[in-house]
Structure 1
Amino acid sequence: MEFECVGVAGLGLLGRGIAACLLAHGLRVVAFDLASDAAAEARSYIAAALEELRSRGLCEVSIVEDWQTRYSEAQSLEAFAACDFVIESIIEAAEAKAALFDQLESIIAPDVTVASNTSALPISLLQSGRRHPERFVGMHWAEPAHATRFLELIRGEQTAGAPMQTAIALAEKLGKEPCVVERDIPGFIANRLGYAMYREACHLLATGVADAETIDTSFRNSVGLWASICGPFRWIDLTGGPALYARAMQGVLPTLSRDTEIPEPLVTMMNNGLTGVRDGEGFYAYTPEQAAHWEEIYRRHVWRVREAVDESFPLNSEASSE
């Protein structure tokens, strides 16, 4: 399947990363954002991302040299008329996304697939009231978008087969390992697993089992050891099998948190407007230097994990199923 021009609506952190990923694979990108400072920030990010890919041998020199000839910032969504695929990556608000889709559907061709980069909003909700609801799919990216293999594709209640196949084809072209979520549920796969873990971590903290750093250290040295090479089911098979885990669960499951409300201490932190490394305070306190240090640690680790996973599970191979 051929792709020539992809529209990216929204140039926040993920949006600009998505644009960089598209450009790195030779595609033409038309980008749009209402924020006046978004264009300059996006260009700076894209240039750095492509250079990072080049330095790691993941991007041709010609791609770095000519990306600006394939990238344009639109003054309005009208420019998306030339796109054969559109990715929406604006704020996580159903009303804002619906307003954008209203405009898009009056501009793009009826057979153009529209992918919403959402981390939790149901695609079935976003499809509601659309002229062509069958062409909408969910496309859940992870930061940094140009580096990770992660991409969840969510099938809404009205999503047709062809648009989903188109989204899969684009994902594979971009070097992703697409995971199709066949039933549209809040949080999809990765976030649901994550939220269950966050809830239990907060429960352990709130009930005095251990402090935040101890909980983080325990997690990092256990789950962190294997999570990049296998998921929970493979891990169960590797470390004793289903029968062993079933017996162990009998004693543990009744003691796990089943809270349906936002757990403490997140409520207090939310009410105080804490944003973590962005403003220097969350579960930990950060100086600007410490915040930058942790962000750099994360970025370097992403690449180390990507290299290890690529070695163990090459894309377009049978390795992952053997």
Structure 2
Amino acid sequence: MNIQTIGVIGAGQMGAGIAQAVATGGYRVILYDIKEEYCENAKEKIYASLKKRAEAGKITTDLVENTIEKINTTEDLKQLGICDMVIEAVPEVLELKQSIFKELGTICRPDAILCTNTSTISVSQVMSECTMKERCAGMHFFFPAPVMKLVEVIRSNDTTDATVSVIKQVASYIGKTAIECKFDTPGFIVNRCLFAFLQEALHCYEDGIATIEDIDTAMKQGLNHPMGPFEMMDMSGLDIYPHACESLRELPVTTWECCDSVKKLIEEGRLGRKSGHGWYDYK
């Protein structure tokens, strides 16, 4: 499928960032929000972001102007009917997302690809009232979207291989690395791993084991992380944390029992770099 025009729903922090990333990658963008002023504010922030990158020598001034020219805005959702692909990036409220995809199912062409940027909500639930479920999937960008290279592609219960293939192609075209979450699990890949890490950091703090500063320092200097867990939570916004935890509650609690897959590798003599083989081969 030849994707040329991509709709982005939601002109907030993530939506604006996705619009910038997509337009910079060469696609035409229609940015939608319920008020035109939200879209115009987003476009001004995109221009400021691009201009700052140009001043730093990271992109050309021509690319700044070309990117802005590719972004059109609207407060009429029906205008997204011409899009080859739509990416939703509204607040993490299930009912809101469901209503959007229900309407998109009547607005968009039957061959359009519909994506949600949800970070924790079940993709299958988000798409439950859409008539085009086989062409729906999760396309989860990371903050800040123009900079972060990773995109998670999440299958719903109905997503086809062809849909996943198109989304991966688009991600590659805009300079992102796409990874596939093979079924719709809470937290997908990154947040399922991340929030287990964040929760343990919080327990260390709340149990009085260490200060937030020392925990952040431990992770940065001990594990070479670019920022600590508390710095990361502040950057993402603490208000999203309870919603993410609620979505992850149905997962089984991690135990300290050694996983069978690790035991199997040890039995096979695959001990990691020291033996030349572990999860990966090093010879």
Contact 2:154 2:188 in 1 (8 A): yes
Unaligned runs of 5+ in 1: 228-265, 267-274, 281-320
Identify the residue that residue 314 of structure 1 maps to in structure 2: none
Q: Which amino acid aligns with 1:99?
A: S
Moved over 6 A (4+): 277-280
Contact 1:137 1:156 in 2 (8 A): yes
Measure the CA separation in 2 of the matches of 1:7 and 1:279: 25
Q: Kindly tell me: are residues 202 and 41 of structure 1, through their superposed partners in 2, closer, same or farther at Cα, counting changes over 3 Å?
A: same
1:117 aligns with 2:117: yes
Q: Kindly tell me: are residues 143 and 39 of structure 1, through their superposed partners in 2, closer, same or farther at Cα, counting changes over 3 Å?
A: same
Q: Which amino acid aligns with 2:175?
A: G
Q: How does 1:270-289 map to 2 (within 5 A)?
A: none
1:213 aligns with 2:213: yes
Q: Which amino acid aligns with 1:21?
A: A
Contact 2:133 2:159 in 1 (8 A): yes
Could you say what secondary structure the match of 1:198 adopts? helix
Q: Kindly tell me: are residues 131 and 278 of structure 1, through their superposed partners in 2, closer, same or farther at Cα, counting changes over 3 Å?
A: closer
Measure the CA separation in 2 of the matches of 1:174 and 1:277: 24
Measure the CA separation in 2 of the matches of 1:41 and 1:35: 10
Measure the CA separation in 2 of the matches of 1:71 and 1:56: 23
Deviations 1:224-262 (A, max 9, x none): 3589xxxxxxxxxxxxxxxxxxxxxxxxxxxxxxxxxxx
Identify the residue that residue 20 of structure 2 maps to in structure 1: 20
Identify the residue that residue 151 of structure 1 maps to in structure 2: 151
Contact 1:14 1:89 in 2 (8 A): yes
Identify the residue that residue 126 of structure 2 maps to in structure 1: 126
Q: Which amino acid aligns with 1:176?
A: K
Identify the residue that residue 182 of structure 1 maps to in structure 2: 182
More deviation in 118-127 or 6-15?
118-127
Q: How many residues get paired?
A: 237
Q: Which amino acid aligns with 2:115?
A: A
Deviations 1:187-226 (A, max 9, x none): 1111111111111111111222111111111111122358
1:92 aligns with 2:86: no
Q: Which amino acid aligns with 1:95?
A: E
TM, length-normalised to structure 1: 0.68
Measure the CA separation in 2 of the matches of 1:204 and 1:127: 38
Identify the residue that residue 292 of structure 1 maps to in structure 2: none
Q: Kindly tell me: are residues 56 and 107 of structure 1, through their superposed partners in 2, closer, same or farther at Cα, counting changes over 3 Å?
A: same
Unaligned runs of 5+ in 2: 239-280
Identity %: 30
Contact 1:49 1:146 in 2 (8 A): no
Q: Which amino acid aligns with 1:106?
A: T
Contact 2:47 2:68 in 1 (8 A): no
Q: Return the offset for 1:57.
A: 5.3
Q: Kindly tell me: are residues 80 and 35 of structure 1, through their superposed partners in 2, closer, same or farther at Cα, counting changes over 3 Å?
A: same
Q: Kindly tell me: are residues 21 and 77 of structure 1, through their superposed partners in 2, closer, same or farther at Cα, counting changes over 3 Å?
A: same
Could you say what secondary structure the match of 2:42 adopts? helix
Q: Kindly tell me: are residues 278 and 130 of structure 1, through their superposed partners in 2, closer, same or farther at Cα, counting changes over 3 Å?
A: closer
Could you say what secondary structure the match of 2:107 adopts? coil
